[in-house]
């Protein structure tokens, strides 16, 4: 069989003749040229002579192999890939056990850390649940205490309303704290979102979901409201007590100015008193309420007493005094004598007014008094209006304070028109100016 070198029985030998650098020219090719002459050990073998009747075969043309650059690049990349794969395979075979041990240890540590985190969160949930149970017990106890405090505050408010009404003040509106949960009745639980792994930080550190206010916060708000109401009630009670004490003290000074003992005006107790004893406590608030009631009672009693005393001036205008109460030189005898009243300057015919409410006991001509009107104001207190030119009332008639009882004149032992005004206590004359000064003090304070 013929080969590419043209010899059928010879052995072809390729000899590289010329290699040209393909990189020196753009688009050049690497050309491999060779010849295939037959050689022997001692030199080239002789060519066989052609058979008879045949023409000689022409010499074989040289074979040229062309290798392109992309083929070279592909071959280089394949070789590099094979080298990297061989290196990786060798490294994996050498370090395989150590790598597996490291991966196993890492997974084990992550597993243990996760279990520890889960255990810590379970313990936290147990603590939260225990705390919630304790808080629930505490909330029930606090609710019971708040209910008792609310009842006590309502009772105090009723006391304050009575004191304010007695003191003549407008009672404050009852405070509103909201309804407390009824004891013994199951309450609807407040919905609280359950913790989830995301919120607990198992997988992320996201912000926790806001939790609505629970019963503990609501009870704390009620406690604060009740404390504020109690403080406001204490302030109101202190104000009422202080005002009643100041008013009672002022009225006592007025009574001292008059010179009368309030005990003589004590009204007779009418009707029976009694009933079961229901104590309301003995704390500071209750003690202050007791003091306020006593002070208001004393104030009201002094007001009633002073209202019945002859404290108004007997003349509508103040013309001054022409003669004081006490010892003086008698205008007729020029000797020392006791003047049992005061003489008030006034024009003839000026209206003489009752100094206080009472009953007319005398309305007639009476010796040196001339025309005289006597009014009984009760409790042994009597006033007289003398030297009148005219009498305007009758015995047994009830008169009010400021009512006209006659006209100023100069009847009886009188040197000129004036009003002789006289006050008597239990039949004995006293200085009328004590009542007039007390009246000025009382009405000035108002």
| Residue 43 pLDDT class (50, 70, 90 cuts) | low
Range of 51-60, 80-89, 296-305 with top mean pLDDT: 296-305
| Residue 313 pLDDT class (50, 70, 90 cuts) | very high
Say how far apart CA 120 and CA 345 lie, in whole Å: 104
Domain ranges of the chain: 120-184+196-204+213-264+280-307, 321-445
Q: Which residues contact 165 (CB under 8 A, 6 or more apart)?
A: 171
DSSP 368: G
| Residue 49 pLDDT class (50, 70, 90 cuts) | low
- Listed range (91-105, 188-202, 216-230, 367-381) with the worst mean pLDDT: 188-202
**DSSP codes, 242-295:** HHHHHHHHHHHHHHHHHT--GGGGPPPP-S-----------SHHHHHHHHHHHH
pLDDT tens for each residue of 5-42: 444 434 333 333 343 444 344 344 433 344 444 444 45
pLDDT tens for each residue of 196-255: 444 444 444 444 545 455 666 777 788 888 888 989 989 999 999 999 999 999 899 888
| The pTM of the whole model exceeds 0.85 | no
- Listed range (42-56, 247-261, 296-310, 409-423) with the worst mean pLDDT: 42-56
Q: Output phi, psi for 429, to 5 deg.
A: -70, 140
Domain topology for 321-445: Glucose Permease (Domain IIA) (2.70.70)
**Structural tokens at position 224:** 């604060």
Mean pLDDT, residues 50-58 taken together: 59
Output the average pLDDT for the chain: 78
């Amino acid at each position: 069989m013929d080969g590419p070198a043209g010899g059928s029985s010879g052995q072809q030998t390729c000899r590289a003749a010329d290699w040209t650098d393909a990189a020196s020219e753009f688009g050049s090719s690497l050309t491999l040229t060779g010849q295939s002459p037959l050689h022997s050990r001692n030199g080239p073998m002789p060519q066989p002579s052609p058979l008879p009747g045949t023409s000689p075969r022409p010499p074989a043309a040289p074979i040229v192999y062309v290798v392109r650059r992309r083929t070279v690049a592909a071959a280089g990349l394949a070789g590099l890939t094979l080298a990297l794969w061989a290196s990786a395979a060798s490294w994996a075979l050498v370090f395989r056990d150590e790598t597996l041990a490291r991966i196993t240890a890492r997974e084990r540590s992550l597993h243990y850390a996760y279990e520890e985190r889960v255990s810590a969160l379970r313990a936290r949930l147990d603590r939260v649940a225990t705390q919630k149970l304790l808080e629930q017990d505490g909330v029930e106890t606090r609710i019971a205490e708040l209910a008792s405090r609310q009842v006590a505050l309502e009772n105090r408010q009723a006391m304050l309303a009575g004191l304010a009404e007695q003191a003549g003040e407008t009672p404050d509106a009852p405070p509103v704290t909201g309804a407390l949960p009824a004891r013994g009745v199951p309450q609807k639980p407040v919905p609280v979102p359950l913790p989830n792994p995301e919120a607990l930080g198992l997988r992320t550190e996201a912000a926790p979901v806001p939790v609505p206010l629970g019963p503990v916060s609501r009870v704390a708000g009620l406690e604060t409201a009740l404390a504020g109401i109690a403080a406001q009630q204490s302030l109101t009670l202190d104000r009422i007590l202080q005002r009643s004490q100041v008013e009672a003290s002022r009225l006592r000074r007025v009574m001292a100015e008059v010179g009368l003992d309030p005990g003589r005006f004590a009204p007779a107790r009418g009707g029976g008193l009694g009933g079961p004893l229901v104590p309301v406590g003995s704390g500071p608030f209750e003690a202050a309420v007791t003091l306020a009631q006593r002070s208001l009672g004393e104030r009201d009693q002094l007001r009633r007493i002073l209202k019945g005393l002859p404290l108004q001036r007997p003349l509508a205008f103040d013309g001054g005094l022409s003669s004081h109460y006490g010892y003086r030189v008698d205008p007729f005898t020029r000797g020392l004598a006791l003047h049992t009243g005061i003489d008030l300057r006034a024009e003839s015919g000026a209206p003489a007014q009752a100094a206080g409410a009472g009953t007319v006991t005398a309305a007639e001509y009476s010796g040196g008094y001339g025309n005289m009107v006597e009014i009984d104001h009760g409790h042994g207190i009597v006033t007289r209006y003398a030297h009148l030119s005219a009498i305007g009332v009758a015995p047994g008639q009830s008169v009010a304070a400021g009512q006209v009882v006659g006209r100023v004149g100069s009847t009886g032992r009188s040197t000129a028109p004036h009003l002789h005004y006289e006050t008597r206590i239990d039949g004995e004359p006293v200085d009328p100016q004590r009542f007039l000064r007390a009246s000025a003090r009382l009405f000035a304070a108002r």
